[in-house]
Amino acid sequence: MKKNQVTKVRNTQTDQPRTSKRSQMKKSIHISGSEAVVRCLIEEGVDVLYGYPGGAIMPVYDELYKFQDHIHHVLTRHEQGATHAAQGYARISGRVGVAMATSGPGATNLVTGIADAQIDSTPLVCITGQVASHLLGSDAFQETDIVGISTPVTKWNHQITKASEIPEVMAKAFYIARSGRPGPVLIDITKDAQFEEFDFSYEKCKGVRSYNPVPVATENSLKSAADIINSAKKPMIVWGQGVILGKAEKNLIEMIEKTGIPAAWTILGASAIPTSHPLNVGMVGMHGNYGPNVLTNECDVLIAIGMRFDDRVTGNLDSYAKQAKVIHLEIDPAEVDKNVKTDVAIIGDARDSLRRLTPLLREKEHKEWLSKFTEFYKVEFETVIDADINPTKEGLTMGEVIKEINSCTNGDAAVVTDVGQHQMIACRYAKFTQTKSNITSGGLGTMGFALPAAIGAKMAEPEREVIAVIGDGGYQMTIQELGTIFQQRCAVKIVVLNNEYLGMVRQWQQLFFDKRYASTEMTNPDFVKIAEGYSIQSKRVSRREDLAPAVAEMVASDQAYFLEVCIEKEDNVFPMIPTGASVSDIRLE
């Protein structure tokens, strides 16, 4: 198993879904494989899917046309946009996102989004058409081995060559995608299987032989962890997205409020508890907050909850939390001891594990320890934060844009970010009052993620304000999805922070490559005119006095809105842990 992968589900003849007597007695109807695919989606409660038609998947699209009252198909402008939109839908709703494409380039264009979903544990079911089964392996037109290509980046995949396989495989796909540690599943269906008719009936999958998606924490592990936590003088929690995926937000709050333990978060864990909570001490990682990073190497007990000790969080592993006893609450056994050696591993669902662990913990306060985080924050505020959000320089900063968004949304918006400097600034300064509010590409770091992901998020939660914060580089990777926004009348708010650079790469070139800005300066088009071409309300801002009114106008609009903010060209993001350095070596400038 590759180290960064979700635990796989074996694709063998013995891995069959469990079925009940009820399923064997369920009335069947005689239909085509393509109609069966659509009926399976309806049975699984799918109300929207994202995709792009083509020859090898056309029979399924023909059936979708007949079932428009049941499933809304969103025509994205690129298959990568379909997977990212499905990710945004899944991340904000907690449901399985669905994407569909044809064979060959249609299927391969899905792969980036699938890989992103795999490393960020996002539940997706991706359906691809394939050439007829008698043409497999013949290099037929638009034939690619998408099962072979996608195997390293899916939780499970399967190729269907007989229509009769469709109900069982589709049921298994949804079960695997959503259960345990979620992840993407790909189902490839040959064209003849789509045309073939058979007797269809459907039963949801309740389990798969040899696959135990939700292990239950042992009493011994809970007691051992409780003993260590109860005796700790300087404990610290770092939580990740596992808290959100496990719906354990309230359980985490109960734990930290009972124990008084300061808690920090990874970027995918952001918003699990409100930003304003007094025990929320900020973000860890390469561009995280000063205190939580430095004090990771001073705590005596480190409690990791639903996070995987990514290298961007740990820095140099040889010097990471060596003084601390490490307790790891994790649903996926493959993540335990993978990067950081643990003293106690609690293998189980985060909500169940926290629910059972918290009663074993003593009520405490760690005022002196917590005050150290406050002291580090004051230093960081004076050195970095104040200049970011209350700048005196002439040019606009990324931080003050996020500050204005906070002011207009009161922290209730879902913020979808792309990858780069703006991502780190948004994660650092966005205020969140409710969970599932920070949607970003974490592990894969996919530029182009934000625009289509924001579409999916807004369609899943149309009553929520969804604001995409994007750099000028990443924006142009999926800018064609403005067409999807236009066609769907999707009221996404788009903020492009334009510094005319690939900003994060330029920052590294400045700090570590003697300012040799190789291929990072960008000559950009007129973004406002492009947005106006899609009938999207648009505005460009370059002066400080115009920023607040423009953000207020954007948020007040009930339609899609594009706001370009021209920011300082060579602004940098600090704090920063240089690659290969210890978290203690974090730089403030």
Q: What span, in angstroms and rounded, lies between the C-alpha atoms of 523 and 539?
A: 19
DSSP-assigned states of every residue in 20-43: -HHHHHS--EEEEHHHHHHHHHHH
Question: Which residues are paired to 231 by β-bridges?
Answer: none
Residue pair 429/403 in contact (Cβ under 8 Å)? The answer is: yes
Find the catalytic residue in 142, 434, 510, 537: 142
Distance of CA 483 to the CA centre of its chain: 23
Residue 174 among the catalytic residues: no
Q: Which of 403, 560, 402 is nearest to 470 (CA)?
A: 402
Residues of the chain where predicted confidence (pLDDT) is lower than 50: 1-7, 10-25
Q: What's the 3-state SS for 251-306?
A: HHHHHHHHHCCCEEECHHHCCCCCCCCCCEEEECCCCCCHHHHHHHCCCCEEEEEC
Alpha carbons 268 and 310: distance in angstroms, whole number: 11
pTM of the entire predicted model:
0.94
Catalytic residue among 16, 26, 66, 141: 141
3.40.710.10, 3.40.50.300, 3.50.50.60, 3.40.50.970: CATH of 394-566? 3.40.50.970
Residues in the chain: 589
- Within 13 Å, how many C-alpha atoms sit on residue 140's CB side? 16
Closest C-alpha to 494, from 466, 521, 524, 459:
466
Beta bridge partners, 238, equal: 264, 304
Of 542, 443, 509, 522, nearest in space to 476 by CA: 522
Candidates 63, 79, 330, 481; catalytic one: 79
Which H or E element spans position 477?
A: none
Dihedral of CA atoms 197, 202, 205, 206 in degrees, nearest 10, equals: -150
Question: pLDDT value at position 27?
Answer: 81
Determine phi and psi for 289, rounding to 5 degrees. -80, 150
3-state class (DSSP) for residue 559 = coil
- Which of 8, 172, 191, 372 does the annotation list as catalytic? 191
Q: Where are the beta strands (DSSP E) in 435-536?
A: 438-439, 466-471, 493-498
Give start and end residues of each alpha helix (H) in 103-209: 105-108, 111-119, 146-150, 166-178, 191-195
Find out whether 493 and 416 touch, Cβ atoms under 8 Å: no
Decide if 19-200 and 394-566 have a common fold. Answer: yes
- The whole-angstrom distance between residue 85's C-alpha and the CA centroid of its chain comes to 11
Instruction: Report residue 304 CA to chain centroid gap.
Output: 19
- Does domain 219-372 sit in CATH 3.40.50.1970? no
| Distance, CA of 500 to CA of 522 (rounded, Å) | 5
Q: What was the pLDDT predicted at 579?
A: 87
The angle formed by the CA atoms of residues 298, 303 and 306, to the nearest 5 degrees, is: 135
Residue 519: Cβ-neighbour burial (10 angstroms; 0-12, 13-18, 19+): exposed
Tokens read off for 454: 């924001």
Q: Is 424 a catalytic residue?
A: no
Question: Rounded CA gap, 455 and 47, in Å?
Answer: 15
| Amino acid making up residue 562 | F
363 noted as active-site residue:
no
C-alpha of 309 from chain center: 16
Please say whether the beta carbons of 486 and 534 come within 8 A: yes
Q: Tell me if the domain spanning 19-200 has CATH number 3.40.50.970.
A: yes
CA distance 333 to 58: 41
Q: How far apart are CA 584 and CA 294, in angstroms?
A: 5
**SS in 3 state form for 128-143?**
EEECCHHHCCCCCCCC
Burial call 57-95: b when 16+ CB within 10 Å, e when fewer: bebbbebbeeeeeebebbebbbbbbbbbbbbbbbbbbeb
Give the N- to C-terminal CA distance of the chain in Å, as an integer. Answer: 39
- List the chain domain ranges: 19-200, 219-372, 394-566
**Catalytic: 79?**
yes
**By the 8 A CB rule, do 177 and 7 touch?**
no
Structural Rg of the chain based on CA atoms: 24
CA distance 230 to 441: 36
Active-site option among 100, 307, 424, 504: 504
Annotation says 325 is catalytic: no
pLDDT of residue 21: 35
Run of H or E residues at 538: strand 537-541
